[in-house]
């Protein structure tokens, strides 16, 4: 592999991640790489080095999401190492990082290209908020058990009016997160599809729908809301919406690139961590 800078994003609140950051930094420095270490809570504070060739995230899925959004404008491969409590996206464990990183540098691991979301909020025709989402974007009430009123557009067509707790648009990566908990299907990465999942709809007619990644999705906040309406990106960033604001979203192919473990596959992770196949822990 060509030498250059390696971005390491770590969870500073996790003592194991801090210790692993020191070890990974030393491992890469010895092999001729420049190390650019960043705390996950402020990883976007400085520009990326021009010669960045790959990245490592040390923490849970939240740390990986921060790292992936940081690199969304210039997606380089990311090796996610699990240091968290659950770790669904982060397949490589803290005991495996040395072997995994060495195998990657020797050209022995594959890179999986995944779709992300481009999220824009339009207010009177102007963009007032823009983010990339790796998992999902959620439009919902900011309070508990509050119903929102939304007007939907799918692929440029009017798709009806929604009443309920909110709406989730998830990528294949995010289909195993909030969307799944709300009753949405699991999409196997790297399928280039999105899933639109209603949250507690006030009608039996609304059901989850799988969409092509290129179809535009528009969610407009109708008037007469009885609660504040919030847009939340990846469960980490929020933006307060106003009446008549429209959240416009579409999928972006290859927005994140994940270095895959050679020890397990997606179906095994679904079975072992989500109990998909049944058994005593399901």
Comparing C-alpha atoms, which of 72, 24, 18, 73 is closest to residue 40?
18
Number of domains composing the chain: 2
Are 93 and 177 contained in the same domain? no
Classify residue 131: in a domain, yes or no. Answer: yes
Are 246 and 265 contained in the same domain? no
Classify residue 280: in a domain, yes or no. Answer: no
Its domain, for residue 217, covers 117-253
Q: For 177-214, how does the pLDDT look when each residue is reduced to its tens digit (9 = 90+)?
A: 999 999 999 999 889 999 999 999 999 889 999 999 99
Are 101 and 134 contained in the same domain? no
Q: What distance in Å separates the CA atoms of residue 131 and residue 129, rounded to the nearest whole number?
A: 7
**Is 61 a catalytic site residue?**
yes
**Cis upstream peptide for 190 (omega within 30°):** yes
Are 127 and 231 contained in the same domain? yes
Q: pLDDT tier at 144 (50, 70, 90 boundaries)? A: confident
Q: Among residues 11, 36, 39, 61, which one is catalytic?
A: 61
Q: Can you give the pLDDT at residue 91?
A: 75
Q: How does DSSP assign 213-268, residue by residue? A: TTS-EEEEE-S--SS-EEEEETTTEEEEE-TT-EEEEEEEEEEEEEEPPSS--HHH
Chain center to CA of 144? 24
Are 20 and 105 contained in the same domain? yes
Asked if pLDDT for residue 131 goes beyond 80, the answer is yes
Q: By CB neighbour count within 10 A (0-12 exposed, 13-18 middle, 19+ buried), where does 192 fall?
A: middle
Q: pLDDT tier at 84 (50, 70, 90 boundaries)? A: low
Classify residue 282: in a domain, yes or no. Answer: no
Asked if pLDDT for residue 266 goes beyond 90, the answer is no
Give the least confident one: 45-54, 60-69, 234-243, 257-266.
257-266
Give the single-character DSSP code of 173: G
Average pLDDT over residues 12-35: 95
Q: Can you give the pLDDT at residue 85?
A: 61
Classify residue 279: in a domain, yes or no. Answer: no
């Amino acid at each position: 592999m060509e030498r250059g800078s390696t971005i390491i994003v770590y969870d500073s609140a996790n003592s194991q991640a801090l210790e692993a950051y020191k070890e990974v930094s030393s491992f890469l420095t010895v092999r001729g790489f420049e190390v650019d270490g960043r705390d996950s809570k402020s990883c976007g504070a400085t520009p990326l080095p021009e010669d960045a060739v790959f990245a490592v995230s040390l923490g849970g899925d939240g740390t990986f999401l921060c790292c992936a959004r940081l690199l969304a404008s210039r997606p380089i491969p990311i090796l996610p190492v699990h240091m968290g409590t659950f770790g669904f996206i982060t397949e490589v464990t803290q005991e495996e990082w040395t072997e995994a990183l060495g195998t990657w540098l020797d050209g022995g691991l594959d890179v999986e290209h995944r779709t992300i979301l481009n999220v824009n909020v339009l207010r009177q025709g102007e963009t007032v908020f823009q983010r990339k989402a790796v998992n999902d974007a959620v439009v919902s009430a900011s309070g508990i058990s509050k119903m929102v009123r939304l007007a939907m557009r799918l692929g440029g067509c009017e798709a009806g009016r929604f009443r309920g707790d909110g709406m989730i648009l998830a990528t294949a990566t995010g289909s195993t997160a909030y969307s799944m908990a709300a009753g949405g299907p699991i999409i196997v990465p790297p399928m280039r599809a999105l899933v639109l999942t209603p949250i507690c709809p006030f009608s039996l007619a609304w059901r989850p729908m799988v969409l092509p990644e290129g179809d535009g999705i528009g969610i407009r906040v109708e008037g007469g809301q009885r609660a504040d309406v919030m847009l939340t990106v990846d469960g980490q960033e929020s933006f307060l919406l106003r009446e008549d604001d429209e959240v416009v979203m579409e999928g972006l192919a290859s927005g994140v690139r994940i270095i895959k473990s050679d020890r397990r596959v997606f179906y095994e992770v679904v079975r072992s961590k989500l109990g998909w196949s049944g058994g005593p822990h399901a």
